[in-house]
């Protein structure tokens, strides 16, 4: 909003108006011999009042006021200005009217001064608010920058965390793999007992009374020491369990096994030997037999034998 500096020179204007009023009052009591000169003077004063009222209205019209209260006051002042201006233009001028018009004009100028003072005060406050808003915007921009940097850092950290999680998962898998029990030298064969202390191996299915399974559990310092449940499973050529002893369950997994061995593992190589009994009323058939070894339900070794 732009305010003409002439609006603020009210003391000079008011002083001029007072002097003019005194001049007009004095003029009313002076007896001029030439009435034509008197009428010319009154018309000139009337024109000056009209011009000043018109100028005030023009300046009011170019002001941009957003404050509702001040705008209302300004509109009321404009209404009175217009009313006086209409009278000045329509009525025949005389000394008394000129005096009244100028008195009203003085009052309007004082109101105008009050309105402009309020506007200047609002401008000062608005400038202060604008400055505060600028500071807030600057602070907000700085905060947004920090948040963006924080977000970027968070994304980087998230990526690193995901990478570390994958790496940890890989390490855990490797650790679990490192702890895994392994066996070597696995061997399986059909046997029959010749004497109490003597057994011999055979590939004749009809003569076999046991299946002998042997293997070595490899030393592993990462494996927990203690008793380990070892399950041996023997399947015939039709994949039926031989010597069905029992079923064991681990969570959602289950295993039907032919024999269970509990061994005391001390992180050293450990030889394991087991005999799977064949049911007396059941003869083995010819074909390939599949022997598997499990630690719990985890397969750790397998082999096969061919029986005639």
Q: pLDDT per residue over 245-270, tens digit each?
A: 788 888 788 888 999 999 999 999 99
Q: What is the mean pLDDT of residues 174-178?
A: 64
pLDDT of residue 198: 83
* Residues 67-79: tens digit of each pLDDT: 667 777 777 777 8
Q: Please list, in sequence order, all residues whose beta carbon lies within 8 angstroms of the beta carbon of residue 194, skipping any fewer than 6 positions away.
A: 200
pLDDT of residue 69: 72
pLDDT of residue 157: 76
Q: What is the mean pLDDT of residues 155-176?
A: 68
- How many CB atoms are located within 10 Å of the residue 242 CB? 21
Please give the mean pLDDT across all residues of the chain: 77
> For the CA atoms of 74, 78, 80, 84, what is the dihedral angle to 10 degrees?
150
> Which pairing describes strands 259-265 and 270-277: parallel, antiparallel, or unpaired?
unpaired
- State CA 42 to chain mean position distance: 78
pLDDT of residue 292: 94
Judge whether residue 230 has pLDDT over 80: yes
User: In angstroms, rounded to a whole number, what is the distance separating the alpha carbons of residues 266 and 272?
Assistant: 13
What is the percent of the chain where pLDDT is above 90?
21
Q: Name which CATH class applies to 183-307.
A: mainly beta
Most confident of 13-17, 123-127, 302-306: 302-306
**Does residue 117 contact residue 73 with C-beta atoms inside 8 Å?**
no
**Does residue 286 contact residue 205 with C-beta atoms inside 8 Å?**
yes
**Token output for 290:** 């599949």
pTM of the model: 0.47
User: In angstroms, rounded to a whole number, what is the distance separating the alpha carbons of residues 24 and 98?
Assistant: 8
Judge whether residue 298 has pLDDT over 70: yes
Q: What is the mean pLDDT of residues 174-199?
A: 81
* Residues 132-159: tens digit of each pLDDT: 777 778 777 877 887 788 778 778 778 7
- Counting beta carbons within 10 angstroms of the beta carbon of residue 79, is it exposed (0 to 12), middle (13 to 18) or buried (19 or more)? exposed
* Best CA proximity match to 246, nearest among 236, 231, 235: 231
Least confident of 30-34, 163-167, 233-237: 30-34
The tokens 């018009």 sit on which residue?
Answer: 101
pLDDT of residue 72: 77
pLDDT of residue 2: 44
Most confident of 56-65, 74-83, 135-144, 178-187: 178-187
pLDDT of residue 5: 45
Backbone angles phi, psi at 297, to 5 degrees: -110, 15
* Residues 7-29: tens digit of each pLDDT: 444 455 555 555 555 555 554 44
């Amino acid at each position: 909003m732009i305010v003409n500096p002439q609006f603020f020179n009210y003391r000079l204007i008011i002083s001029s108006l007072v002097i003019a009023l005194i001049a007009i009052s004095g003029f009313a009591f002076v007896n001029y011999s030439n009435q034509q000169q008197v009428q010319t003077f009154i018309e000139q004063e009337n024109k000056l009042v009209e011009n000043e009222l018109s100028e005030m209205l023009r300046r009011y019209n170019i002001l941009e006021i957003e404050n509702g209260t001040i705008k209302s006051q300004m509109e009321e002042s404009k209404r009175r200005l217009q009313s006086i201006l209409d009278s000045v233009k329509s009525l025949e001028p005389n000394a008394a009217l000129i005096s009244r018009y100028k008195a009203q004009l003085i009052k309007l100028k004082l109101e105008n001064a009050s309105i402009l003072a309020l506007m200047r005060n609002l401008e000062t406050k608005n400038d202060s608010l604008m400055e505060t808003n600028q500071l807030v915007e600057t602070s907000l921009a700085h905060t947004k920058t920090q948040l963006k940097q924080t977000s970027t850092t968070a994304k980087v950290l998230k990526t690193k965390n995901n990478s570390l999680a994958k790496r940890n998962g890989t390490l855990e898998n490797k650790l679990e793999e490192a702890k895994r029990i392994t066996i070597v030298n696995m061997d399986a064969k059909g046997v029959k007992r010749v004497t109490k202390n003597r057994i011999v191996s055979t590939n004749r299915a009809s003569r076999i009374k046991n299946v002998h399974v042997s293997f070595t559990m490899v030393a592993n310092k990462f494996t927990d020491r203690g008793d380990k449940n070892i399950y041996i499973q023997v399947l015939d050529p039709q994949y039926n369990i031989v010597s069905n002893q029992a079923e064991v369950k681990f969570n959602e997994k289950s295993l039907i096994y032919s024999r269970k061995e509990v061994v005391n593992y001390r992180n050293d190589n450990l030889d394991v030997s087991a005999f799977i009994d064949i049911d007396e009323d059941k003869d083995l058939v010819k074909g390939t037999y599949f022997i598997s070894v499990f630690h719990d339900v985890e397969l750790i070794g397998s082999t096969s034998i061919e029986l005639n």
